[in-house]
Structure 1
Amino acid sequence: MIRLQELRAQKGITMKEAAASLGMPYTTYVNYEKGLREPSSETLILLADFYETSVDQLLGRDTSAAAAAQAAGTPKERKLQLLARRAAGLPEAEYERILKNFEDTIDLYLQARGIGREDK
């Protein structure tokens, strides 16, 4: 759902003023605001810039969900997180032993490849 009406009201302008400022026909803007027409990706960027917001916020996308998705990291990082969650139910001593074995395995691999550790 495009938040054009809400953003336009915050800006204190009419639909005609918004359309004129954006350089588009009034009827086109009205159709975007009423949800009768979907703007192209280029138009979404134009609208977001005009209303000084992001395309995500313009579309009503939950930005906390977007931030959470970004924080989840790369596919490799997500795989490591999944493995850590799977092991989390183990007794503490076993969990720590698995982590230590994993760390040692990575260190041996990096050493064999002549790659230094990033956390040193």
Structure 2
Amino acid sequence: MKRRVSSGSPLEPILGFSRAVRTGGQIMVAGTAPIEPDGSTTPGDAAAQMERCCAIVAKAIADLDGDIADTVRTCLYLTDRADFPAVAAVHGRWFGTARPATTTLIVSGFIRPEWRVEIEAEVLCA
């Protein structure tokens, strides 16, 4: 049985996707961008945007009765490699206990040009 949650992103109904899906003991969180509840982009630098992304991911995991400490994989997407140290520090604060397998990719851009980071996550529930 699948369970799904929405973060309220205005892109979810347009693209036809869920923020996260739980099937059995696995939670998969879609690529998560720095979107505020009103649909605007989180202001500030890459670290501020990463904080917002992680908060959205953590809420999605909790809404599906998961624990962020059980995260087994994350994938970070950055538009500027110079942002890596700041984004890595935020990732470490949110996922340091879990120590997931993590990949970081530098990409040419996102749907909104002001986005500097996105994150995906997978959780295996205990």
Q: Tell me which interval the TM-score lies in, with the shorter structure as reference length.
A: under 0.3
Which has a greater percent of strand?
2
TM-score, length of structure 2 as denominator length: 0.24
Q: Over alpha carbons, which structure has the higher Rg?
A: 1
Which has a greater percent of helix?
1
Structure of greater relative contact order (alpha carbons < 8 Å, 6+ residues apart): 2
